[in-house]
Structure 1
Amino acid sequence: MMDHDVILGAIKVLYSIINNSNLNLGDVEELLRFFGVFVDGCHHVKEEYILFPTLNLSLFPFENSPVYVMVSEHGVARYLIRISEELLARLKDGDVSVKDTLVDYLTLLADHLSQHIDKENKVLFPSSMDLSEVESSRSVEDIEKNADHSYWVSKVSELKSKYGVK
């Protein structure tokens, strides 16, 4: 799934920022916006509203299924994004005591999303699954438009170049 490649690129940028002793708060803020808007507001919406219901109907019931695990992990990602945003706001307001905690939460977020994508790619998604062929009341195009999908794809590409991430 192309989204996964973009998200993994953003995660690599985040690791690069985290490993730099001079934390670039502006870029951290951009990445947190990316994770909130693109990952949660676009990618997760496509999965939760289009793909997962189809998998539940055609392959397995929701309870205790791989889809249940994925939806639960989306909630964990939302939590980690929200806490990271709050810590970043405090740091930007001058509370330097939260810097290490912010770095810890950013690392948790990056690790969580990396592991989540790995599970989806290896366990959940059949390689032939095409979202455009799935019936839903919401279209992939509308979801991507609402989340400004193309802007975020190019923003991640820009950040990858800035940090020398491939």
Structure 2
Amino acid sequence: MYASALSRWSGQTDLTLGTPSSGRHRVEAAPLVGCFVNMLPIRLDLSGDPAYGETLDRVRDAVIEAQANGDVPFEEIVKDLRLDRDPTGRVPLIRHIVQFDEALRPAPMAGLDLELQPLGTGTAKFELFVDFEDGGDRGLECRAHYSTEVLDAETVDRFVTELCRSAEAAADENRSLS
């Protein structure tokens, strides 16, 4: 849905999206303390105006391919591609991020009451970062963080509204198939 909406809005069919990966693919990393997040670039080909099912197949295949190479640090990819760093601090290669926050809930720990606190930096490293979260009874929640140098609030609001409509349509289609 995100890729399709972004393709329609941008007029581009060759997209590279990013998604954070936990970086804990290896068993030996499980007991280590620290942040192991790696950015996975996902290159998508949406040429030929693919139908919904075909788009899902293409996205699934691209995500599987990206995850298979998930141990390669993003910085190494940038270095190997000889991409110049953006002086504004934006990340090269990836301008758009999509994330589902299901795994970002703090794990329960005996004797501790943990909760996530938002960390606002006041800057955007990506043109658009869309963050989905399972809101339980409230359904799927969506937040968009964006660069005000590139996008305005009205445009982002229209994009997120279309994205939500696409998600609802996909859910309805999925329910009718089951």
Q: Output the TM-score relative to the length of structure 1.
A: 0.33
| Larger RCO of the pair (alpha carbons < 8 Å, separation 6+) | 1
As a proportion of its length, which structure holds more strand? 2
Indicate the structure (1 or 2) with the bigger Cα radius of gyration: 2
